[in-house]
Chain A
């Protein structure tokens, strides 16, 4: 009888845990967690210093194939919308700083590449899969989040960016 009760309790706990896992945490509508990271050129950049501009934050990794497709698309977006008030920040979560730096330099992107070697920023942003793109509005609120990338997704980014730039 007692064993049955114990087993039942365990199942209930497991179900509760599963239900809590089922709903992934989201930052949409909440203030973007601030961070300061070292960039490829050696300067430190802080997210909150871009308040008043629309910021696209892209978490990427050298080993994530989708990132290799997404980075050139983001570079084109940056080139076009930079003058309109868009800031693109690429954040590498590679642990090997040297190889990540080499890879970033080889991509020759026009926007800053930052290094989150301790994965602290990724944790704050509930980063689970790579790549992940976040859009932060002029008030510093997260307005859009997308995990993964396939060709054509940049059109969805553009729609969101145009809307945020108009606000």
Chain B
């Protein structure tokens, strides 16, 4: 309840900030338009300095807009995915010589929550060390079952489909799980691990 109130007050602050920013911007626009006439008669060498100042102001305003967008995004995330019920799943690939990723299907408590197709660029990014947040959702506290199906090309370019499953305990705080695709060099096979980040 307190959290909701805090979030609402945060949103109110953001709206006020936006209004304030808009008013400031409007005032600046008015100010900028007011001395426009005398500037026209000013010497020509003064013009580049004015342009530079105006450019700096525009850059400043753009930065403010980006900052506001970031704050709004954070607020939205907080409202939609409260941290105490949040479950985030990440996917990473280590080496990947024995497996070319094509798609991942995720099921939580026997309900499909995600089916993701990977383009060549995305698979390449994962191979280069990228970590993808593949799922973000909310779950109540207690035990839950996660099943992940990985499809792609396995050793010798053969179609490959494997599953990995885990039962995890969702506590009071946020839960983070990592789906790891690694190579088992000894067996010349890929390995799929689900790691629980406490």
Residues of A within 8 A of B (CB): 36-38, 43-46, 49
**Please, which residues of chain A bring their CB within 8 A of the CB of B120?**
43-44
- Size of interface on B: residues with Cβ below 8 Å to A: 9
Residues of chain A lying within 8 A (CB to CB) of residue B119? 36, 43-46, 49
Q: Which residues of B contact A43 (CB under 8 A)?
A: 119-120
Q: How far does the alpha carbon of A44 sit from the alpha carbon of B123 in the complex, in Å? A: 10
Q: Does B3 count as interface, using CB distance less than 8 angstroms? A: no
Q: Do most interface residues of chain B lie in helix, strand or loop, or is the interface mixed? A: mixed
Does B54 interact with chain A (Cβ within 8 Å)?
A: no
Q: Measured between alpha carbons, how far is A36 from B114 in the docked complex, in Å?
A: 13
| B32-53 interface with A by 8 A CB criterion | none
CB under 8 Å from chain A, chain B span 106-122? 116-122
Contact yes or no, A49 B117, CB < 8 A: no
Chain B residues lying within 8 Å of A44, measured Cβ to Cβ, are: 102-103, 117-120
B103 surroundings in chain A (CB, below 8 A):
44
CA–CA, A36 and B116, complex, Å: 9
Closest chain A residue, CB of each to CB of B153: A42
Q: How far is the CB of B100 from chain A (nearest CB, A)?
A: 11
The 0/1 profile, CB within 8 Å of A marked 1, for residues 95-107 of chain B is 0000000110000
| B22 CB, nearest partner CB in chain A, Å | 24
Closest Cβ of chain B: how far from A89's Cβ, in Å? 13
Could you tell me the distance in whole angstroms from the C-beta of B119 to the nearest C-beta in chain A? 5
**Apart from the given pairs A37-B117, A38-B117, A49-B121, 16 other A-B contacts in the complex at a CB distance below 8 Å:** A36-B116, A36-B117, A36-B119, A43-B119, A43-B120, A44-B102, A44-B103, A44-B117, A44-B118, A44-B119, A44-B120, A45-B119, A46-B119, A46-B121, A46-B122, A49-B119
Q: Using CB atoms, name the residue of chain B closest to A44.
A: B117
Chain B residues with Cβ below 8 Å from A37 are 117
CB<8 Å pairs between A and B, sample of 19: A36-B116, A36-B117, A36-B119, A37-B117, A38-B117, A43-B119, A43-B120, A44-B102, A44-B103, A44-B117, A44-B118, A44-B119, A44-B120, A45-B119, A46-B119, A46-B121, A46-B122, A49-B119, A49-B121
Minimum CB–CB distance for B85 against chain A, Å: 27
Task: Determine the residue in chain B with the shortest Cβ distance to A43.
Answer: B120
Q: How far is the CA of A154 from the CA of B8 in the complex (A)?
A: 53
**A44 to B120 CA separation, bound complex (whole angstroms):** 7
Q: Which A residues lie within 8 Å of B117 (CB)?
A: 36-38, 44
Chain B 120-155 interface 0/1 with A at a Cβ cutoff of 8 Å (1 = within)? 111000000000000000000000000000000000
